[in-house]
Amino acid sequence: MTKATAKICVESPAADLAGSGAGLRIGWVPEAGSRGCGLDPVLLRASRALARAMRTALARGAWIAWALVSAAAPSAAREPIPVERFFQEPDFGQPSLAPDGRTVAMLVRGAEGRRQLVAVDLETLKPRVVVAVKDEDLAGYAWVNSRRLVYWMEIKLTGPNRTDSGPGLFGVDKDGERHRALKETRVGLLRGPESGVPLLDWRWYLQQTLPGANTDEVIIAKAGEVSSERVGNFELQRLNTVTGRVQDIETPLHSIHWVFDAQGRLVAANTLDRGEMTLQLRGPEGAFRAVARFPEFGGTGQLIPLAVTPDGSLFVEAPYGPTMGLWPFDVAAGQLGPKPLLVSPDFDLRPEPVLTAKGMLGLRVMVEGEATQWLDPAAQASQDEIDQRLPDTGNRISLPSEGNSPWVLVQAQSDVKPMQAYAYHRASKRLVRLGGTLSGLDSAQLGLMRFERVKARDGLMIPTYLTLPRQTPAGKDKPAQPPPMVVLVHGGPWARGMSWRFDPEVQFLASRGYAVLQPEFRGSTGFGRRHFEAGWRQWGLAMQDDVTDALRWAIQQGHADPKRICIAGASYGGYAALMGLVREPQLFRCAVNWLGVTDPMLFFEVRWSDITREFKTYGAARLIGDPQTEAEHFKTISPLHQAKRIQAPVLMAYGEWDLRVPLIHGEKLRDALKDHNRQVEWIVYPEEGHGWSRVETQRDFWRRVEAFLARHLAP
């Protein structure tokens, strides 16, 4: 990346920023040479740190001066990194700092190969096993307070009609004491103590913790209705993780999203009914009142409550111009404050507030990659120190939310470096490595990622990630020959597909000598309302054109060999891979479709999927098309109905127990292709759902992809 393209603007005296947000002055980031808030170097420091890390990585990789290395032999000097290194059970993961900043918890693989919960005392740096369960893996955990945690087990698929086993919920102190089972597992793997307090039904799940409340309680939720009609009617309770006792929380009918204050009181909620969302606020007397209504999809009136600061100020996500920003909300008046706190003209920031007892110290935002916009000068100073020590990674720092511990947790990663965790002592400047998620990967053999904006044929700018394989510098301005390319289309499709970070699938392909192109086609979220709404009813049409236009740009720039290109993706990405062969057979030599939709009409017709009738009526019909009135439209955008046009080699893989895109999608297309296309490879993975949950499946699948690409993208 040659320049910092992220634009974020906050303007306020530094002393005001950690408080409620009063007195803020807001403005767009101006272009170079103009006047305004963007000229203050403090204001963009968070996003510039991310851009600096990206630039450093790119400079080391010599983007322009490189020589071609064949896809079959990506490096003349080194053997390819084994597939097992990319797809492995990590020995370390999910580090989290206790609220008082004196302990880091993490999941660590023990001697018997099971993930266990470990706590490290940062003063002594001595680890302690908190929980280890024989024959079971822990999947996740959360701090309840500085002493106590909750954790849950790994979900395991158990059949097409019982697609998961309840992971349970357990409470334990960081020294391993006061261990308690809090809810059932679906298959009865673990049971609670004989205390007279029954275990909760397995359907309850952890909604959130309340670390600022200094309590042993957490918030749990359960869907009161799970049916083919809808998933809704949620119930909330406060659960005491020591006693197992619960207390009901009154919520508005049809609520789906909730925000609590530092004392654990429900302040605001969103409800959803028949495609309409409502923002509900709780008054002093306890009753809820609706202050805004807006459609679930589209429009300009969205109001999503995000956080309540310790002084009681409410902040919401709401539109500002073309994108979503962070606004203060006047609860008494029931309306937005006069100006937003944080905005970007290019990105929906999806801010994640960093709250402590002192106030809102900062905001995690998503631009090209994750960055933190610190509002507190001391926190910004700590960020600057870490960025100087670790200049080629994006560095997330976690501060103590209470007390005065000098320790912070650092999670560092880049496009070529999986996450590494460190403990940093702010007084002594000591930086201690705690562990990393993946081992045995040589960064010098991995690809370098950049972020671009590519103009589509109608003028819409398409955010695009391009990863080029690491090549040997040749001292030339242009490569001797561009590399083969895999166009990797994300799923969703109403989601953001990528950010600047390490991705094992992308890096596996890059390590084999392939360039990887990942366009954020219209309909993707995170890039503003216009970009999202431009994708409505554009499956296989303008959404597909965006993929094609991004590819043509890459070819014109010399980043891809136009005769050696494959299109690939999962779920919607698998659908787009198939439609690529339908619409652009001259561009793509092959396609890889895993878990892909083969006929959008099946979304509405297959009764055993997990897509509810409510979403089909109020969501899919609006975003894809109305199957009752637009039958011809659905045939036009269906790979199944266009199967005769799919002549190129196709690798298709599905999960036997997939309820999101049931196996019938793949079976119907397989049967439609068999008479005219003899180059179809078909795989069904037993005991897999909508995604590869087992490491063995991941390795087998990507070995097949490697062999498939080597055959069909050979020079």
At 36-67, the pLDDT tens digits run 333 222 233 445 556 656 655 544 443 322 32
Assign domain 441-712 to its CATH architecture: 3-Layer(aba) Sandwich (3.40)
Residue that has been written with the tokens 């539109």 in this structure = 319
**Is residue 354 a contact partner of residue 372, using CB atoms and an 8 Å limit?**
yes
Given a cut of 50, the residues of the chain with pLDDT beneath it are: 1-7, 9-46, 58-76, 189, 192, 472-478
Q: Where are the beta strands (DSSP E) in 126-265?
A: 126-131, 138-143, 148-153, 169-173, 180-183, 205-209, 217-226, 231-240, 246-249, 255-260
C-alpha–C-alpha distance, residues 394 and 643, integer Å: 44
Tell me the β-bridge partners of 244: none
* Nearest C-alpha neighbor of 638 from the set 678, 601, 605: 601
Please give the pLDDT value at position 297. 81
Write the DSSP symbol of residue 616.
Answer: I
pLDDT score for 382? 96
Q: In what order do the strands lie in the sheet with 420-425?
A: 394-398, 407-413, 420-425, 430-436
Tell me which residue of 503, 595, 576, 368 sits closest to 87, measured CA to CA: 503
User: What pTM was computed for the model?
Assistant: 0.89
- Of the chain, the end-to-end C-alpha distance in Å amounts to 29
User: How far is Cα 218 from Cα 199, in angstroms, rounded to an integer?
Assistant: 15
Judging by DSSP bridges, how do beta strands 246-249 and 231-240 pair with one another? antiparallel
Amino acid at 331: V
Tell me the residue ranges of DSSP E strands in 338-460.
352-356, 359-366, 370-374, 394-398, 407-413, 420-425, 430-436, 448-455
H-run or E-run covering 581: helix 572-583
Q: Return the half-sphere exposure (C-beta side, CA atoms, 13 A cut-off) of residue 436.
A: 13
CA–CA distance, 191 with 1 (Å, rounded to integer): 53
